[in-house]
Amino acid sequence: MTRYREKRGFAEVTIRHRNSGRTKTFRVDRMINCTGSENDCRCIDDPVLNSLFTQGLARPDALFLGLDVDENGVLIDGDGSASEGLYALGPMRKGCFWETTAVPEIRVQAAELAAHLVRRFGRDARPRLAEHAAAVT
């Protein structure tokens, strides 16, 4: 589809044929989006994501599938710097790590993030975080 325009009581949809490159416009009563859920994180209407982007606390990954993160899930802010305390797990890491939407991958991410936090915050956090990491692996 190259164009979609709503009119009173119907819509006009223009498509381009793949082989010939010619366009054709149809008048339709209904249109159903069968492309699946929105993949571009910039277009998702989520107050948390919107706030992170607006404040410059996060930026989309290179493919716009989620948030830009480092290998530990640390959010990369709008200026390209690693966050001091914001992390992502699961589907929000899809653009950087792809296989990140199923429970087994998310469990590994959670355990790795727990280990990272223990390294970062020292021994005081170790007993509590180690228990949580063991519970998810």
The domain spans of the chain are 1-36, 47-136
pTM value is 0.59
DSSP conformational letter for 60: B
On the question of pLDDT at 137 being above 50, the answer is no
Q: Residue 63: which of 106, 110, 97 has the closest Cα?
A: 97
pLDDT average, residue stretch 23-33: 86
pLDDT average, residue stretch 108-124: 83
Q: Residue 57: which of 30, 88, 11 has the closest Cα?
A: 88
Q: Is the Cα dihedral 124, 125, 126, 128 positive or negative?
A: positive
Least confident residue range of 21-25, 36-40, 107-111, 123-127: 123-127
DSSP conformational letter for 83: E
CA distance 98 to 110: 16
Provide the mean pLDDT of the chain.
81
pLDDT of residue 55: 92
pLDDT average, residue stretch 28-37: 74
pLDDT of residue 130: 54
pLDDT of residue 136: 44
pLDDT average, residue stretch 39-57: 84
